[in-house]
Structure formats: structure tokens, C-alpha cells
Structure 1
């Protein structure tokens, strides 16, 4: 009789979702060698190959395909049990895992977390500064701060101030480039894709300017504009605090909705509930910064 352990199934599901040992190790926050060793031991124990190793990634065998639904059912039950047990914990001590976009972590959140820690010294903050969407249902995080028009209705959602964005460049770039009229030579530095910018610059005073640089990371976009590669929409709470950046005249602001999210089961956990409430209140207190001095 071959017996599966929950850790074996976690490894199996992570490899199936990531399609590689490296991606699975990132999902589980363990080493590459640990995932590889555990998967090999699992396959040797049951005497069956669960994956075919292909250049494009790990492909499930027929037996592996048959295991996925049952493994996910086990995972769902265990996660539900963990949420219920964890949700009854009323102590103001222990870890709280927060997932937050990097720019918020770097430019807004640290003084707030320092204030929170001074009030609740026994609560340990585990901060994941990432744009990857934390799955609160799988307890990848206890609290997530996210930019979203419509957050998951199954989560506890606390509204934050909308994130204001305006168009910025360096004073030198503004002085030496033409932004309007026929054939402007100023160039957009766009975050994400040209399609995203096309939506953002509708009605912009500078819609005639061409896009030259596309950057996937928000902090890198800020650095690119500061280096004089062009101009672009930047969060006011970042750009207004930097003397090397200047707002362009007559630019219409763009607003991005933001939320503090928790799972309903974990919202009854005192330390998670208090931390989420504290973050929400503290961020609302600096609304004027987030809104660019109310523009």
C-alpha cells in the first residue's frame, strides 16, 4: 500500500502548476533541489512516473492527470481547515503575511509598518513586495494591497484612496524637447505595453507624442524617466517627492482604485484584522500625498 503525505501532494501540485521544478520551488518558497528530490522520491515510492520531462516543461502522464483533481480536493480541505483554525487565533502575537506592490512598499508603507510594530511589538510582519497576485484563498498571504477596479467579492475588501498618476519628466527633458504642435520630438516611456498607454493617453495633451520605450516594472519606469529617456505617467506619491521630476502642464490625472484585502476566515483572527484595519486607516491619513496634493 503506497501512502501519500500532504507534502508530497503539495510538491506534485506545485510542479503541475509551474510546469518546472524551478517554478515550483518559487511557489513553495523552498529550494530547487528540495522539490527535485521530493518529486523523485514520490515517483520512486509509487513506482510510476507522474510527469514527462520535455524541453517546454513538465507534462503530466495519464496517471498524473488522474491525480490532479483528487490532490486539489485534498488541498482545498486542508487549506479550509487551516483557515478555520487560524481564524480562531485571537492573540496579538505571531506572523502576519502582507502582499503589496513594490512601489507602495518602498515609498509609503515602511513608516506605517514601523508605527504598527511600535504599537504591537509581538506581531511579526512578513512582507512580500510583488505584483504577483497572492491567492488569499490558499493562504499565500493574510493581507493583500492591490490595484483593481473590481476586487474578488468573496474577500473582505476595504477601500483605499485611488492612486493618482500624472505625467512627469525631468526639467532638462522638458526644456530640450517639444511636446505639442506638428512633429513633437518628446517620447513616452510606457509601463507595460503600448496598448495600455493608448488607453491612458486618451484625451491627453501629449497624445501626438510617440512611444519609444516600454518597461515592465514600475520602479524601472520611474528610473527611466529620471534618467531622461522620456516622459510618462507616474504615481504622484512617488514623483512629487523626487526633486528630479516635474509635472507637465495641462496633464489630466489618471486614477487607479486600490484595496486592502483579507479572507473572511482570517478576518476573525485578531492580529490580521487589527493589522488590516491599521493599514487602511494609516493610508487614508496620507490621502493628500496619494492624490498628489489633491491635484
Structure 2
């Protein structure tokens, strides 16, 4: 029997965290069959069952519970070692994993990402367009652009301009609905709670209007508002640049959300990561009027 190696530990921890072979495969960027074979091989090597198979996934065995904390400590040391080595890399080449929410990728920063790729052709961008927060302590991303009040204190970051939100609707919807209390009053498009009068509407001048439906995605909200399903609270960089939407009369900015460009401290001296952080921060500052809702209806030049 040979000892567990680092690759075995990564498989074990992915299975323990996700509770399923499919989930672990997603975390590892592997296939279901490969992870299943790796688990069987690890258990055979150790001569012990690590997970009990159940209809709803994998249940850690007593043996797995005995070793998981030690495995996490080994993982932390190995990742720290890898970051230390990467932090000495002065080359402007190689991969940079960047994570940000889909609206930023699709409706604001794509031209800047193209310009970055043209300026640094030896750097390979890996863009994760997602609402999930990457675990940067475990190499979930090299760089993250986040709307977050207080990033994790261990991260190194640069503050970017805040993102303002406002209330938008299609002109057709506003011409056919009343903003007053009436039998044909306008409606909010709800986010993620089945509440007719959710708290986020109560700090607006339209608190008396009910919310209907649930769409916890800004891009879906925007599409629904375009189609005249209702009024929507959207980031200004989405609503103000959409020719099918206008700000609802009599309303103001509804919220301001801090924006950060973040990396792990061990990577801040890696030249390609540092260059990417600087480039994205500068790009966001160029877009500041649009992000902050100061130039309604006008895109960045």
C-alpha cells in the first residue's frame, strides 16, 4: 500500500466538501468517471472506506472524519508553498484566473479585457463569469472583481469606483401603468423573496407598489424590464446604456455598492497578476461616471 499523495488529498477534500462525485468533479475540473475511479483507488490503497454511498450523495465515514482536519492543514501548506513560488514569477506570461459577475463581463469590461489581451499576448486570461465567490485561499482565482463592503481581511486589494443602482422601466410600460396606487398600478420585478412588499422597495419613493415574480439575476431583470414585465432596480451601467430602458421619473439612486479588485497577498508580486490587477482597476476608474450613474444614457467612449 502506498501513501496518499497531494493529488489524492485534493480528490478527498473535494468529495468531502461537495458531498457528491459530480460536485467534486466540477471543483476539480474532471469527469464523474475519473473522480469515481480515483476514489475507489484511494480507498483500496488505504484499505478503508472513506465515504458511504447514499441516494442523496456521499456521507463521510468515521475514517474520513478522522483525517479531514489534517488533510486541510496539508492543503493549506501546499497552497501556501505554491503561491510563494508563483509570487517570485516576474514573467508577463502564463495564466491569470479572473472572476467577476456576468454583467461586468458582458456589459462593461469585455472591451478592456480584449485590450489587455492585445497588450499582453503571452498572458492567458481564464475568465470565470459567475456570481459565486471564489475561495482565493485555495486558488479559486488569481484576481477577483467584487462588489463587496468588506473583503476578507487577508486579501490584497485595490478599491475601484462604487456601483450605483437606480430604478428602470421600458417607456411602453411607464406609458401604460400608473406609479400611483390604482387598479392598474405598476409592479416591481421581485428578486429572491416571495414578498409583495420586500424591504429593498421600502426605501424608494415607490414603496407602495407591489413586487411580483422572482428573478435573482440582474441580466434576467433587465430583459424582463425591457419586455415590460415591470420596473426593476438595476446597476446604472446596465440600465443607463440600454436604449430600451429609462429611469423611472421621480426616483433617484437607490444604493451604492463598494467595488474591489482583489488578489491573494502571495500573488501580488507575480508580475502578470499585478499587471492584471492594475489594468482592471484603471479600467474601472475610466468607467467611473457610468458605474456611479453620473452619465445616464451615455456609454464610455
**TM-score, structure 1 as length reference:** 0.95
Q: What does 1:8-47 align with in structure 2 at a 5 Å threshold? A: 8-47=8-47
Deviation at 1:182, TM superposition (A): 4.7
**Regions of 4+ moved over 4 Å:** 194-197
Q: Check the 8 A contact 1:98/1:141 in 2, yes or no.
A: yes
Deviation at 1:279, TM superposition (A): 0.5
Deviation at 1:288, TM superposition (A): 0.9
Q: Distance in 1 between matches of 2:58 and 2:33?
A: 16
- The 3-state SS of whatever aligns with 2:285 is helix
- The 3-state SS of whatever aligns with 1:268 is coil
- The 3-state SS of whatever aligns with 1:265 is helix
Q: Check the 8 A contact 1:155/1:263 in 2, yes or no.
A: yes
The residue aligned with 2:248 is: 248
Residue by residue over 1:259-294, the C-alpha shift from the partner in whole angstroms, topping out at 9 and shown as x without a partner, is 101111100101101110111011101111112235
Q: Distance in 2 between matches of 1:3 and 1:109?
A: 46
The residue aligned with 1:278 is: 279
- The 3-state SS of whatever aligns with 1:215 is coil
Deviation at 1:183, TM superposition (A): 5.2
Residue by residue over 1:84-106, the C-alpha shift from the partner in whole angstroms, topping out at 9 and shown as x without a partner, is 00000000111111011010000
Q: Distance in 1 between matches of 2:250 and 2:240?
A: 16
Residue by residue over 1:163-206, the C-alpha shift from the partner in whole angstroms, topping out at 9 and shown as x without a partner, is 11111111111111112235562111123335798342233111
The residue aligned with 1:77 is: 77
Residue 209 (structure 2) pairs with residue 178 (structure 1)? no
The residue aligned with 1:237 is: 237
Q: Distance in 1 between matches of 2:97 and 2:197?
A: 33
The residue aligned with 2:299 is: none
Q: 1:197 to 1:270 in 2, by over 3 A?
A: farther
Q: Check the 8 A contact 2:181/2:209 in 1, yes or no.
A: no
Q: How many residues align?
A: 295
The residue aligned with 2:4 is: 4
Structure 2: which 5+ residue stretches go unaligned? 297-301
Structure 1: which 5+ residue stretches go unaligned? none
The residue aligned with 2:62 is: 62
Which piece of structure 1 moves more, 116-125 or 277-286? Answer: 116-125
Q: Distance in 2 between matches of 1:287 and 1:87?
A: 30
Residue by residue over 1:219-269, the C-alpha shift from the partner in whole angstroms, topping out at 9 and shown as x without a partner, is 112111112211110111111111111110121211111110111110010
- The 3-state SS of whatever aligns with 1:185 is coil
Q: Distance in 2 between matches of 1:128 and 1:183?
A: 45
